[in-house]
Amino acid sequence: MSIKTFLLPDLGEGLTEAELVRWMIAEGDSVIVDQPIAEVETAKSLVEIPCPFEGVVSTLHGDAGQMMLVDEPFISVNTAGDEPEAAAPAATEPAAEPSSEGALSYREEEMAGTQAPEEADADEASGNVLIGYGTGASKPSTSRRRRPRAGITTAAASSETSTQAVRVINPLVRKLARENSIDIHAVSGTGPEGLVLRADVQALIVQGQPAAAIAAAPAAPVAAPASTAAPAPATPAKAAAVTAAGEDKRTGLPVASSQVLAGVRKTIAAAMSTSRREIPEATVWVDVDVTKLLKLRGKIKESEGQAPSIMALISRFAVAGLQRFPELNSRIDVESDGSLRHTIFDGVNLGFAAQTDRGLVVPNVRDAHKLNANELSAEFARLAGVAREGKAGVSDLSGSTFTINNYGVFNVDGSAAIINYPEAAILGLGRIVEKPWVVNGKIKVRSICELTLSFDHRVCDGGTAAGFLRYVADAMTDPKKTLSTL
């Protein structure tokens, strides 16, 4: 038989894991190329994984509810069915040669479903691609080399990879190692061609040992520098101590539930922690009289039968404001030497916070600067719908450059929102309520909304942030004047 193993691919944005929701096939089932085989949850969306091979399912490398790591075995398929392979002369086959083909790595093969270089056949490729991966027609190339992965590596390959320089693609892996005092150059990578994966660094963190102490060295052992003599990095927190009676030892209270964060909740927690840790944010806010804005929308609806949402109108003002204050439509990146790079974008991908049954997600309207209020309103409705159904793709939930958060739907006035990392700012909208307001020296009842802006103080000073917020607030107060200039 001929067994091919498909590794879970990177589903976008450098994601390193996904939760296996359910298998759509079982071991022993026949599958064809591009047949949906599993449903996984990652990047706050549900994604169907297509099969890259045709044959009989040999092994499912995971159970429902399990976290699956990128570049780890996902499914093995017997592509030769039940027919045995033609016998080959024993003398021509090395004894150490594995009976099955090595697992195909997403980063090595680039398109899951193409055969190994030595037997590639363009006719088998379907050309279908799902979120940046899948099968596609590709020309056979004898120059591509695929090194066996850990666990199926021959002794010769192992000795060859040990002399190569450590490779790290993902900057988050370097950051994780640096934060835990691990020398990235001493980590033995288990990925393709010695690639250092996040799992390699995490394994050392769990062990509480510096990488240099256990990494295989090709030469004589070298003493660790004095700086590594510091206390070992803290291991992940242990589960809360609970007595036999089910009480928490620290508080003495009964424990209602205790579980490790996973899936969407884990993703949200990581994103919020990263934003608070990396971004020195500040917040400015102002109360805005939106009485005229509400009246204008009412007139549009009366005359045309429909009107853009209030959020769409405010978003149109915000996009215009970003063109005047582009520092807030930007991103700060940390270079390899620790220096900071400030990137300002020529155009706006507008994210908006949406609450779903599975947690908070941030769909984004791409090229929002090219859309009018009606088009923005339609995109908000469409993206919110697919997000709540769990059908939003990675491209729908990533790539935003500025975010708007309408927390007024929760009937609250204001909030210092957490910036959607790695963006530079987030605009918050509170509920609209009637309040006494001084207009031309007289107290009148007006519709008031609180507007807040949390921003990365590295990209600009308070004057820029206040200028942007004031522009949006003035546009909301006198929308006709502003709309005539857009």
Enzyme catalytic residues? 457
Give the separation between CA 150 and CA 152, rounded to whole angstroms: 6
Give the separation between CA 413 and CA 166, rounded to whole angstroms: 52
310-324 helix and 462-477 helix, angle to the nearest 10 degrees: 140
Query: Residue 435 carries which side chain, given as an amino acid letter?
Result: K
Give the separation between CA 478 and CA 486, rounded to whole angstroms: 13
Count the alpha carbons within 13 Å of 459 in the hemisphere toward its beta carbon: 26
Give just the sign of the alpha carbon dihedral 412, 416, 422, 426. positive
Asked if 365 contacts 371 with a C-beta cutoff of 8 angstroms, the reply is: yes
b/e code 298-327 from CB counts within 10 Å (16+ = b): eebeeeeeebbbbbbbbbbbbbbbbeebbb
Asked if 192 contacts 108 with a C-beta cutoff of 8 angstroms, the reply is: yes
Give the separation between CA 110 and CA 133, rounded to whole angstroms: 8
Can you read off the two tokens belonging to residue 394? 């990675």
The percent helix, strand, coil of the chain (3-state, each to 5) is: 30, 25, 45
Q: Residue 347 region, left (φ>0) first, then alpha (ψ -120 to 50), else beta?
A: left
Neighbour count for residue 15 (Cβ, 10 Å): 16
User: Virtual CA dihedral for 380, 384, 386, 389, nearest 10 degrees?
Assistant: -170
Asked if 116 contacts 3 with a C-beta cutoff of 8 angstroms, the reply is: no
3-state secondary structure 90-140: HHHCCCCCCCCCCCECHHHHCCECECCHHHCCHHHCCCCEECCEECCCCCC
